[in-house]
Structure 1
Amino acid sequence: MAVHDQMMKGLLDGAILGLISQGETYGYEIIERLKHNEFPEVSDGSIYPVLLRLDKKGYVSTRMVKSDNGGPKRKYYTITEVGMSELTVFKKKWVELNLGMNNLMRSVGDAE
């Protein structure tokens, strides 16, 4: 797996946990909110494996809700206490990493 793909995978996990922490939501709504916030490379195919992984790790819980318009049931996601702890760690690490990368990229830019 390319470095870029590995970075996106880790960032997507944190971004999705962050969105779910704001309130119960479902897959399509998560996709739309990521796109609205200009998160790069968001596709249906990239979101659902992350949601499954977060569920298996116990970071989110799910419930199925019958559709109002007679369509298929929709799976809703809620963050768990374990998920909130993981999100707290992610945010702390993100702040540290972001600061370090910004400092490094500024010094690289100065060298040109």
Structure 2
Amino acid sequence: MLDDVTTQLRRGVVEFCVLGLLARSPMYGWQLAAALTERDLIASIGTLYPLLGRLRDRELIVAFEQRNEGQQSAPGGPTRKYYRLTPLGEEHLARFRAQWRPFTQSVSEIIEEGKTR
């Protein structure tokens, strides 16, 4: 039963976690997946790519290709697909940030025992 709650909570916030990570700097898929899986926010990289597609469709992020800076291969070598926030994505994240703290504080006040307003 608790796993169902955790799954629902993840679904509700993982989009904003992706936007928050991309607000720091552009990242490629494996970087995003590592940051999210180490925090138990996604189960695997396979769950990330559909989310990235939805965020692109909503014009909250854009994808671009960039050569990996650490590669020693010749010019024209492999590139990675990176993601970054769009101005619309920045606005979307800012609205979420403004609501997140008051929301979590209200929930905590209600569900924590012995705590009253």
By the TM > 0.5 criterion, same fold? yes
**Deviation of the 1:89 alpha carbon:** 0.9
Separation in 2, partners of 1:76, 1:40: 20
Partner-residue secondary structure (3-state), 1:12: helix
**Deviation of the 1:25 alpha carbon:** 0.5
Deviations 1:65-101 (A, max 9, x none): 3454778642100111100000001112211221111
| Equivalent in 93, 97, 114 of residue 110 of structure 1 | 114
* Stretches of structure 1 lacking an aligned partner (at least 5 in a row): none
The normalised TM-score by structure 1 is 0.79
Q: Is the 8 A contact 1:65 1:73 kept in 2?
A: yes
* Stretches of structure 2 lacking an aligned partner (at least 5 in a row): none
Structure with more of its chain in helix, by fraction: 1
Farther-moved stretch of structure 1 (55-64 vs 12-21):
55-64
Partner-residue secondary structure (3-state), 1:74: strand
**Deviation of the 1:56 alpha carbon:** 0.7
Q: Is the 8 A contact 2:29 2:49 kept in 1?
A: yes
Q: Provide the aligned C-alpha RMSD in A.
A: 2.5
The normalised TM-score by structure 2 is 0.76
Q: Against the structure 1 CA distance between its residues 9 and 69, is the aligned structure 2 distance closer, same or farther, given a 3 Å change threshold?
A: farther
Separation in 2, partners of 1:79, 1:41: 20
Partner of 1:65: 66
Separation in 2, partners of 1:44, 1:83: 21
The structure with the larger Rg is: 2
Given the alignment of the two structures, is residue 98 of structure 1 paired with residue 99 of structure 2, yes or no?
no
Partner of 1:21: 23
Partner of 2:36: 34
Separation in 2, partners of 1:91, 1:77: 20
| Equivalent in 82, 95, 98 of residue 89 of structure 1 | 95
**Deviation of the 1:42 alpha carbon:** 3.4
Separation in 2, partners of 1:41, 1:110: 33
